Amino acid sequence: MIDHTAHFRREVLAFERAVRPVGEAPAVPSCPGWTVTDLIMHLGWVHRYVARIVEERLAGPPGTAERDFLGLPAESAAWPDPMKAPNPGPVPEGLVSWFADGAERLASLLDVDARVWTWSREQSVGFWARMQTIEAALHRWDAQLATGVPEPVDAELAADAVAQTFEVMAPARRSWKQAPPGEGERYLFRRTDGPDAWTVTFDGDEITMNTEKSADVEVSGSASDLMLFLWQRIPADRLTINGDETRIERYFELVPPV
């Protein structure tokens, strides 16, 4: 079984290494409208939000009107408003350390078997461990892209993220964005650095996965590239496409970005 907490720790440390030396916050090409400052604030906020849910074993979503749970330092009074992105200029003093403290706090809470509120059907700490590890890997890649050359996502974690896309994220994104009903479109996603393959069919409001190897289109690449493609970080031309290429554009109509 994949050790999400170990992967989470590695990803947030790599994220910190990418952003710690930054002076002027560059734009993040894979997150239009954000700079590195916005990316750090986003992850720091999310980590503390989830930590509160896990630590307090909340059965419902926490309120966010009061901001004590964010653990903001005194210097945060000079930080830009995260609701007014993009925030260019120097990365604020203390921001990266605030992020690192929040990431460590969350990492220390993820290795428990407990029921807590989530936005999905699975109401468990395990859901948050998986979700936050995938998000950390994705935003680590974003940060590295903004500051240099991004490293691939670990193959084990990336393969888990592909499966999680179809098990969790695709149904959620379809619901949130009121996506059109499927018309039987079938996609085969095959990793080239391991044995995994995912055949996904969209039929009405349902998404099903099976082991069949026939599809309208087959998309092949490393587990990392498949993950990054499904999260709209890299284009289809980074992958090998066989079959009806018009289905690629259709996929992101069926699974809209968030």
Residues 44 and 127 in one domain: yes
- Domain end, chosen from 129, 147, 165, is at 147
Query: How far is residue 16's CA from residue 143's CA, in Å, rounded to a whole number?
Result: 9
Sheet holding 240-243, edge to edge: 206-210, 197-204, 182-191, 217-221, 240-243
- What is the pLDDT at residue 130? 98
Helices (H), the chain: 4-19, 36-56, 95-107, 125-147, 155-164, 170-177, 223-230, 246-254
Residues 184 and 121 in one domain: no
In-domain check, residue 21: yes
Query: How far is residue 187's CA from residue 257's CA, in Å, rounded to a whole number?
Result: 18
Give tens-digit pLDDT for 59-109: 999 887 778 889 999 999 999 999 999 999 999 999 999 999 999 999 999
Residues 136 and 189 in one domain: no
Residues 120 and 202 in one domain: no
State whether residue 69 is helix, strand or coil. Answer: helix
Q: Please name which of 79, 5, 10 lies closest in space to residue 45, comparing C-alpha atoms.
A: 79
- What is the pLDDT at residue 96? 98
Q: What is the pLDDT along the chain (258 residues), one digit of tens a residue?
A: 899 999 999 999 999 999 999 999 999 999 999 999 999 999 999 999 999 999 999 999 988 777 888 999 999 999 999 999 999 999 999 999 999 999 999 999 999 999 999 999 999 999 999 999 999 999 999 999 999 999 999 999 999 999 999 999 999 999 999 999 999 999 999 999 999 999 999 999 999 998 888 899 999 999 999 999 999 999 999 999 999 999 999 999 999 988
Residues 192 and 74 in one domain: no
Q: Tell me which residue range forms the domain holding 49.
A: 4-147
CA distances to 67, 76, 195, 234 from 156, in Å: 36, 37, 11, 19
Residues 112 and 181 in one domain: no
> For residue 166, which amino acid is it?
F
Contacts of 135 (CB under 8 A, 6+ apart): 43, 46
Instruction: Return contacts of 51-55, CB within 8 angstroms, 24+ apart.
Output: 51/102, 51/105, 51/106, 51/109, 53/116, 53/117, 53/118, 53/128, 54/106, 54/109, 54/110, 54/112, 54/114, 54/116, 54/125, 54/128, 55/109
Total count of domains within the chain: 2
In-domain check, residue 152: no
List the CATH number of the domain containing 225. 3.30.1050.10
List the CATH number of the domain containing 86. 1.20.120.450
* Residue linked to tokens 């970080």: 233
- What is the pLDDT at residue 68? 85
In-domain check, residue 23: yes
State whether residue 121 is helix, strand or coil. Answer: coil
In-domain check, residue 155: no
Q: Please name which of 244, 240, 236 lies closest in space to residue 193, comparing C-alpha atoms.
A: 240
pTM for the model stands at 0.96
Residues 37 and 116 in one domain: yes
Residues 121 and 39 in one domain: yes
